[in-house]
């Protein structure tokens, strides 16, 4: 039988991993802790009974002493494998020392997790993203103020937009709810206005989006395809869409593939 102290220590480490990342997958936790996924499941069940974590398909969310953002968490788990692959590719594009603007999308959050520990100046309107960097000494954090969208934990509205108009960043990474021939969309009008201000503030805008978003629209139009500089997507997008993105003058980076330029 595993000694209680060892079990408690492992569960403490597991809880800290979930707390820092907001959401962590079973394979991630198994690898980090060097234990089987079945052991991780049992530990998560114990933490869930204590109200510290919530199990979901493929992983767990932190539910301890931090704000709950159900809309953000529900979106975060959807298409997780694609989002994580996209995040790894996007993180490769970021250079140490960059001034980086991150919005509050679930795919953007996956990127943020991979950037923790790198020397960056991070600007964000996302409370979940800000929480990843708030206690780090290796990066600087600027949190955009404004009205808090309680379901997603992002700041939006005129105060956020005014603050964004006063800054300049080297790169912005934003996520979208949908895209079609007319461009990019999101479901919240105020959030779209804030994303438009982010695009204006950045020397280079990178959109991260999984292949399920293509060919659809949502409530509010962010911008035409050609107004961003690069897209990072998973390799399940069609050849037709690959051609459309490149024809719009947008650099295309595919998760799992080597860039040509």
**Cα(26)–Cα(170) distance, integer angstroms:** 34
Same domain, 59 and 107: no
CA distances in angstroms from 135 to 59, 65, 220, listed in the order given: 24, 16, 35
pLDDT confidence of 201, banded at 50, 70, 90? very high
Is pLDDT of 61 > 90?
Answer: no
> Cβ(144)–Cβ(124) under 8 Å?
yes
Same domain, 129 and 224: yes
Which pTM was predicted?
Answer: 0.76
Q: What is the pLDDT of residue 211?
A: 95
Same domain, 86 and 174: yes
The CATH number of whichever domain residue 28 belongs to comes to: 1.10.10.10
CB-based contacts of 5, cutoff 8 Å, min separation 6: none
CA distance between the termini of the chain: 55
The CATH number of whichever domain residue 168 belongs to comes to: 3.40.50.1360
**Cα(141)–Cα(161) distance, integer angstroms:** 18
Residue 136 forms part of a structural domain: yes
Same domain, 91 and 50: no
Domain termination site, one of 45, 66, 87: 66
Mean pLDDT across the chain: 88
pLDDT confidence of 183, banded at 50, 70, 90? very high
pLDDT confidence of 206, banded at 50, 70, 90? very high
Residue 249 forms part of a structural domain: yes
Range of the domain at 82: 75-254
Same domain, 56 and 124: no
Higher pLDDT, 13 or 245: 245
Same domain, 92 and 56: no
Same domain, 41 and 118: no
The residue count of the chain comes to 261
| Sheet of 251-254, strands arranged across | 140-143, 121-124, 99-102, 169-175, 202-208, 230-233, 251-254
Residue 170 forms part of a structural domain: yes
Same domain, 59 and 85: no
In the chain, the number of structural domains is 2
pLDDT confidence of 106, banded at 50, 70, 90? confident
């Amino acid at each position: 039988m595993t000694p209680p102290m060892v079990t408690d220590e492992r569960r403490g480490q597991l809880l800290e991993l979930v707390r820092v990342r907001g959401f962590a997958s079973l394979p991630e936790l198994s690898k980090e802790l060097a234990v089987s996924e079945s052991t991780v499941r049992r530990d998560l069940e114990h933490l869930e009974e204590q109200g510290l974590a919530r199990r979901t398909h493929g992983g767990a969310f932190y539910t301890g002493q931090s704000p709950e953002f159900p809309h953000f968490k529900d979106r975060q788990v959807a298409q997780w494998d694609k989002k994580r692959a996209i995040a790894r590719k996007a993180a490769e594009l970021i250079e140490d020392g960059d001034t980086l603007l991150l919005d509050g999308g679930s795919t953007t959050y996956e990127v943020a997790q991979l950037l923790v520990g790198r020397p960056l100046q991070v600007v964000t309107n996302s409370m979940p993203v800000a929480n990843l960097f708030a206690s780090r000494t290796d990066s600087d954090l600027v949190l955009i103020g404004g009205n808090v969208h309680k379901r997603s934990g992002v700041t939006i509205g005129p105060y956020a937009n005014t603050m964004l108009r006063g800054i300049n960043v080297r790169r912005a990474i934003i996520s979208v709810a949908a895209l079609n021939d007319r461009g990019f969309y999101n479901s919240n009008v105020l959030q779209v206005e804030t994303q438009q201000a982010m695009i204006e503030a950045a020397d280079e805008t990178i959109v991260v989006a999984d292949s399920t978003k293509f060919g659809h629209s949502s409530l509010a139009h962010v911008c035409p395809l050609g107004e961003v500089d690069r897209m990072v997507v998973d390799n399940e997008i069609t050849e037709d869409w690959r051609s459309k993105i490149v024809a719009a003058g947008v650099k295309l980076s595919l998760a799992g593939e080597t860039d040509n330029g």
